[in-house]
Amino acid sequence: MLAFAPWREAQQAAVERALSSWVPDQAPAGLGHAMRYAVLDGGKRLRPLLALATCEAVGGHAAAAMRAACAVELIHAYSLVHDDMPCMDDDVLRRGKPTVHVQFGEAQALLAGDALQALAFELLVPDDGSVEPAMSARLCRLLALAAGAGGMAGGQAIDLASVGVALDQPALELMHRHKTGALLQASVMMGAATARVPADTETKLAEYGACVGLAFQVVDDILDVTADSATLGKTAGKDAAADKPTFVSLMGLASAQAYADRVLDQAHEALRQSGIDRAETLHALADWVGRRAS
């Protein structure tokens, strides 16, 4: 097995190639350019990495996993395009460059997000028979549940309704398990869905994914306070300026870091109880989430 850093870099490059081949550049009226701008040459690709690592861990279908990895990244990218728009978070910087609505205008940004969402599901139902219909259906369902009202979109709705509101820890966790955690957990579960996984193992993988998702958000809140915009590639301090509740505003910096560490410990424990023998990369991904600087 490759050490984690070379594995990560190789998989990130493979995902980038796949995305570049699947995201069109010839869509009408410059739409393809906006779509590619939103997706390519940026981001940690954590969600694809979780899908691919889980597939490897359970001995799944590699080609289906790459489609799942890219599909979940397209959903993530579309959500960022829409979240950055003036009607929501009104941000001007993403991945170190102007946000899509700043670069292309609000209408084109809205359409680019819509098109990326549609493309995500198109990838999961190839017409060449390379993915079995039952597997395609399972992957589509997992992604739809994570992206919709019971997942990411619902979490964003809670987020918008919580500006200036003092949330307690359970309410804050609920928001972020939807807004951020659902798609990260789905990345793991989609990787698992490329193989036949025992129910007990699936339960522990879901627990691992949920913990990684929550820890990712806690660390994100910490970095919003401790890092600068150049390092983050997005506007630092935006949550505090917008009076949004965060784990740091609720707990304080030191307690938020300790909480992230505890949640990641739970992720590692879930993996140890999963019965998976080849979970080293999933363990390494959890550690990477905890120590990331951007």
- Mean local confidence (pLDDT), 174-187: 97
Whole-angstrom CA distances from 175 to 82, 219, 237 are 18, 15, 19
Task: Report the amino acid identity of residue 283.
Answer: H
Kindly report the pTM of this predicted structure: 0.96
3-state SS assignment for residue 257: helix
- Checking if the pLDDT of 37 tops 90, the result is yes
- Check the CA dihedral 156-157-160-161 and report its sign: negative
Mean pLDDT of the chain: 95
- Checking if the pLDDT of 33 tops 80, the result is yes
Report how far residue 286's alpha carbon sits from residue 288's, in angstroms, rounded to the nearest whole number: 5
Long-range contacts of 267-271 (CB under 8 A, 24+ apart): 267/207, 267/208, 267/211, 267/212, 267/215, 270/204, 270/205, 270/207, 270/208, 270/211, 271/204, 271/208
Report how far residue 90's alpha carbon sits from residue 46's, in angstroms, rounded to the nearest whole number: 24
- Checking if the pLDDT of 236 tops 90, the result is no
Encoded tokens for 109 = 């940004």
Encoded tokens for 236 = 């630092």
- Checking if the pLDDT of 113 tops 80, the result is yes
- Checking if the pLDDT of 32 tops 90, the result is yes
